[in-house]
Amino acid sequence: MSKKWKIKLANFFLDRYTARYGRLQDKSTFDSGIHFDNIVIYSTTALGDFMFNTPAIRAVRERYPDAHITLVVHEKNRELVEGGRDFNRVVYWNSKIKTLGPLLKSLREHQPDLALIMHSHLPYDVISAVMAGAKYIIRDNYSSGISGLEKWLTNYVFHYYGHFVRRKLELVSILGCRSDDPTMEIPAPFERAVKNPDQITIGFQLGASTESRCWPVSHYVRLAEMLVAAWPKVKIVLIGGGTDRERAQRFLQSVSATTAEHVDDRIGKTGLQQMITLLDGFDLLVTGDTGPLHVAIALKVKTISLFVTADPRSTGPIQDLELHRVIHLSRTGYTMPLEAESPMGVIQPQRVYDEVVEHLQLIEK
């Protein structure tokens, strides 16, 4: 079914549901001074999206220190949120209509007065918030702008140009939340890494959510060869999810035997908690615009992030800027051979190598 028809059916259903059962209040009755005892926050999409939401979640907790806050997230982010300090409990949901029943049963245990939809999927997020009993719903409509379900929303943000973190802070500012602290953080407790002072550990994040955000494997190979040739103490750690295994295989098949001895392939071999600890032990992470970049930023690990098809003004580093370097190039004027594997191919290995040397203040042997 197309999204257009899903929206029409959602409005049809909610018109009838709220006429009989809904607690939803007219948006004109909203006031930033209202005290909310029960709040539900939705962030059910990717790792990076959740990291962008952490400053706003913290701001909500600061604004309502005594409220019972339920966080709705996807199961894949369980290890990131279990035991988090800015919410009372976590409910896991895959944004599917088939699992709406269990979600509603859980949410109604602490019937929400306020629903904050930071990042989720239409229309089932709005439907679930209404059916759970929310009196007010605030949603980020994201780049799509008008969602078609605005009549059920107390307030929403759309067509906001700027960093996604600040967009989320703008979303909750209507509640009287502070919006001046964009610092991302890891919500759950995790094991800190123990660094080897005699070793330079550099992480390579080979994959990303889309092919267009992946730096070519051949470029990572060339960078690895240059690093190993210059520093015998360098250790290169490959990170990524199970879908990146093929990239890891290509990388390992392409590097020299000498370079391979300096490579630790951890792709698809770590859970989220293990990945956080692994990142914490890096001296530097080289990556495209993807979740581990934002985790590394929260951990205060140095990064070199590569942007061509994405815009760092929206999704690049926003805190501790002295720790992070962004290489942002346009595809305009480049020839196809540079883009054989990916549009990101316009960023050449020598450019990244030079940034690594300068950023880590390394002296070649």
pLDDT for the residue numbered 363: 65
pLDDT for the residue numbered 340: 55
Question: In Å, what is the CA distance from 19 to each residue of 14, 25, 215?
Answer: 8, 12, 52
Q: Which residues of 332-364 are buried (b: 16+ CB within 10 A; e: fewer)?
A: eeeeeebbeebbbbbbebeebbebbbebbebee
Counting as low any pLDDT under 70, the low residues of the chain are 143-146, 332-341, 363-365
**N-to-C CA span, the chain:** 61
Query: By the 8 A CB rule, do 213 and 48 touch?
Result: no
Domains of the chain listed by start with CATH number: 10-174 (3.40.50.2000), 200-360 (3.40.50.2000)
d(CA 276, CA 126): 32
Say if residue 218 is exposed, middle or buried (CB neighbours under 10 Å; 0-12, 13-18, 19+). middle
d(CA 205, CA 20): 51
d(CA 72, CA 110): 13
The one-letter code for the residue type at 276 is I
56 CB contacts (<8 Å, ≥6 apart)?
116, 118, 165, 168, 169, 171, 172, 177
pLDDT for the residue numbered 209: 86
For tokens 């140009």, the residue is 161
pLDDT for the residue numbered 159: 76
How would you list the strands of the sheet with 234-239, edge to edge? 263-265, 234-239, 200-205, 284-287, 303-307, 324-328
